[in-house]
Amino acid sequence: MTEITCKLLVVGAGPGGYTCAIRAGQLGTDTIIVEAEKPGGTCLNVGCIPSKALIHAAGEYETIARAAEGESALGISTAKPSLDFARTIAWKDNIVRRLNGGVAGLLKRAGVRSVAGYARFRDGKTVEVETQSGRQMIHAETVVIATGSEPVALPFLPFGGRVISSTEALALTEIPRKLVVVGGGYIGLELGTAFAKMGAAVTVVEAAPRILPQYDGDLSDPVARRLTALGVTVLTGAKAKALVADGTALAIETASGEQTSLEADKILVTVGRRPATSGFGLETLDLDMDGPFIRIDDRCRTSMHGISAIGDVTGEPMLAHRAIAQGEMVAEIVAGRRRAWDRISIPAICFTDPEIVTVGLSPSEASSKGFDVKTERFPFKANGRALTLDREDGFIRTVVRADNHLLLGVQGVGTGIAELSAAFSLALEMGARQEDVAMTIHAHPTQSEAFHEAALKSLGHAIHI
Ligand code: FAD
Ligand code: NAD
């Protein structure tokens, strides 16, 4: 067994871990990162990136397929398209490969030593890694746990055979004829929509009374309507029960208590993710937990001196950009800089069709925090750019303090509005008031004008409505 030492050891090279290691390297910290799989973690390999590639491909295909059905309002007609799904997957895999190489290169350029293998904690400062060239013991002054998360399985529907998680869904070799999705949250709806657009007959089984229960109904309703238009069957208040005997269908109980079954070529289970905290010796450390997550303070320090934790392993929201921001902060703290978590908001985007963007507090969250709030919505049907895109569903909503007009939150639902999240976040982090948004010239014609108009409307003088 070889033994090496470093100042900073990062376990897990997902967006949290690799960002932490790169920033640490930039700051001159002697850093080692250990990764069991490919660099980039869930996000790059089996999450954000491959799912968005498939969503994009599916959108392109559906637009052409609709035109072929004579349903293009733009006057475009074409022959019935075909989809070479193997090529779609190869294209997606190539993007992932390029980014894998990119992350490895960035780590190297920052002077970070990468160790490939599964790390097991021996104590709070030491891990043992099974590498291809033998066992390696790594001693570190500071350790960052960035081991991420994994899909939750239902006890009566274990993964295997027709029952798949998002990881297998992103590596299918053909479009399932009948796809049943259990869980109408982020992953179920993003991937369910993509497969529906590519020709699968999709049924979503969601236990809550409506899809995307983490958002308010105003935001999820346009998505529900679009799912219906795409031919997706959405069963809310429904419970998955069991695989039926030959494994070709899913037994469910509907909202009205009816027992029935849904035939399926694949059953995609997307009922959440859980932090990766077991199987690598973490249990032997005396870390305080916060439910299933590792408890951290505002500097991402755990209850043990010299051990920090970042990313999905530390709690909700389990989003890549939260992990990235934590990773960067921890690297700077290790290098001696004064940093603490002081972010006003973590944006969230659901890449459904239409997309949902939320930044800061929703109206009900703001009210429950004791704020007297003023909420205003500007619909995309009054936005010229949305009309030119032939998609006028959705709106932008601002939530401000009634007394001083400070922006507390911005939410929206609309086609392709993910990129607006940056403007919303910047406004919140800069402490913008409604007047600041109103006094900012928003380029015409853009969907961002709906943000401007929502601010104007809140001030009582919207122009275009
Ligand atoms: P991870 O990315 O999970 O990385 C952890 C890494 O640690 C893994 O590579 C793992 O192999 C490694 N590891 C674990 N244990 C060990 C060990 N003992 N030794 C060595 N290595 C170990 N988030 C968004 O913000 N936007 C999106 O659009 C989005 N889309 C998603 C789509 C899907 C289908 C999924 C599944 C997730 C999506 N997410 C999205 C969530 C996002 O992927 C996670 O929030 C993010 O990857 C968390 O980063 P992390 O660094 O905490 O952990
Ligand atoms: P989720 O929490 O978004 O959705 C799970 C859904 O499953 C919920 O609507 C829940 O009510 C439902 N559910 C739970 N148990 C059920 C059961 N037995 N039967 C039927 N429905 C049931 O979880 P997810 O979609 O698995 O995604 C996991 C996490 O990954 C997300 O919370 C998010 O943090 C991250 N993610 C983010 C993005 C993004 O940022 N665009 C995309 C994908 C995933």
24 and 131, same domain (yes or no): yes
Residue 208 near ligand 2, beta carbon < 6 Å = yes
List the domain range (segments joined by +) for residue 186: 163-271
Task: Please report, as a single letter, which amino acid is at residue 11.
Answer: V
435 CA → ligand 1 middle, Å: 39
- The CA distance from 85 to 89, in Å, is 6
Could you tell me if residue 67 is inside a domain?
Answer: no
Could you tell me if residue 318 is inside a domain?
Answer: yes
Pocket test for ligand 2, best of 55, 187, 210, 321 (most atoms within 8 A of CB): 187
Count of domains for the chain: 3
Q: What is the chain's mean pLDDT, rounded?
A: 97
Decide which of 216, 243, 271 is a domain's last residue.
Answer: 271
Measured from the alpha carbon of residue 47, the closest ligand is: 1
Q: Concatenate the DSSP letters of all residues of 184-229 into one string.
A: -SHHHHHHHHHHHHTT-EEEEEESSSSSSTTS-HHHHHHHHHHHHH
Cβ atoms 327, 16 nearer than 8 A: yes
Q: Which residue has the tokens 């289970």?
A: 269
- The 10s digit of each residue's pLDDT in 286-333 is 899 999 999 999 999 999 999 999 999 999 999 999 999 999 999 999
24 and 146, same domain (yes or no): yes
432 and 375, same domain (yes or no): yes
Indicate which residue's Cα is closest to atom 15 of ligand 2. Answer: 271
pLDDT band at 223 (very low <50, low <70, confident <90, very high): very high
Q: Which residue has the tokens 């990235």?
A: 324
Could you tell me if residue 301 is inside a domain?
Answer: yes
pLDDT band at 228 (very low <50, low <70, confident <90, very high): very high
CATH number of the domain to which 439 belongs: 3.30.390.30
Token digits of residue 259: 């027992």
Cβ atoms 302, 285 nearer than 8 A: no
Could you tell me if residue 77 is inside a domain?
Answer: no
6 and 140, same domain (yes or no): yes
Cβ atoms 69, 38 nearer than 8 A: no
93 CA → ligand 2 middle, Å: 24
188 CA → ligand 2 middle, Å: 7
If we measure between CA atoms, which residue out of 18, 29, 2 comes closest to residue 337?
Answer: 29
Indicate which residue's Cα is closest to atom 52 of ligand 1. Answer: 311
Which pLDDT score, from 0 to 100, does residue 324 have?
98
pLDDT band at 246 (very low <50, low <70, confident <90, very high): confident
Annotated catalytic, 442? no
Could you tell me if residue 63 is inside a domain?
Answer: no
Indicate which residue's Cα is closest to atom 24 of ligand 2. Answer: 272
Could you tell me if residue 314 is inside a domain?
Answer: yes
Left, alpha or beta for 158 (phi > 0: left; psi -120 to 50: alpha)? beta
167 and 265, same domain (yes or no): yes
Go through the chain and tell me how many residues it has: 465
Q: Which residue has the tokens 């909700």?
A: 316
Indicate which residue's Cα is closest to atom 41 of ligand 2. Answer: 350
Q: H/E element holding 101?
A: helix 85-109
238 and 177, same domain (yes or no): yes
For the CA atoms of 225, 54, 216, 430, the dihedral, rounded to the nearest 10 degrees, stands at -130
- Exposed, middle or buried, 68 (CB in 10 Å: 0-12/13-18/19+)? middle
Q: Concatenate the DSSP letters of all residues of 312-373 into one string.
A: GGG-SS--HHHHHHHHHHHHHHHTT-------S---EEE-SSSEEEEEE--HHHHHHTT--E
- The 10s digit of each residue's pLDDT in 266-295 is 999 999 999 999 999 999 998 999 999 999
pLDDT, mean of residues 67-92: 97
CATH number of the domain to which 177 belongs: 3.50.50.60
Could you tell me if residue 60 is inside a domain?
Answer: no
Q: H/E element holding 262?
A: strand 259-263
- The CA distance from 265 to 162, in Å, is 6
pLDDT band at 79 (very low <50, low <70, confident <90, very high): very high
Measured from the alpha carbon of residue 320, the closest ligand is: 1
Could you tell me if residue 342 is inside a domain?
Answer: no
Which pLDDT score, from 0 to 100, does residue 245 have?
72
Residue 276 near ligand 1, beta carbon < 6 Å = yes
135 and 190, same domain (yes or no): no
Task: Please report, as a single letter, which amino acid is at residue 229.
Answer: A
pLDDT band at 247 (very low <50, low <70, confident <90, very high): confident
16 and 104, same domain (yes or no): yes
Residue 165 near ligand 1, beta carbon < 6 Å = no
Residue 186 near ligand 2, beta carbon < 6 Å = yes
Decide which of 271, 289, 321 is a domain's last residue.
Answer: 271
Q: Give Dmax over CA atoms of the chain in angstroms.
A: 72
How many other CB atoms are there within 10 angstroms of residue 423's CB atom? 19
131 and 97, same domain (yes or no): yes
Catalytic residue among 305, 405, 442, 444: 444
Cβ atoms 142, 306 nearer than 8 A: yes
264 and 299, same domain (yes or no): no
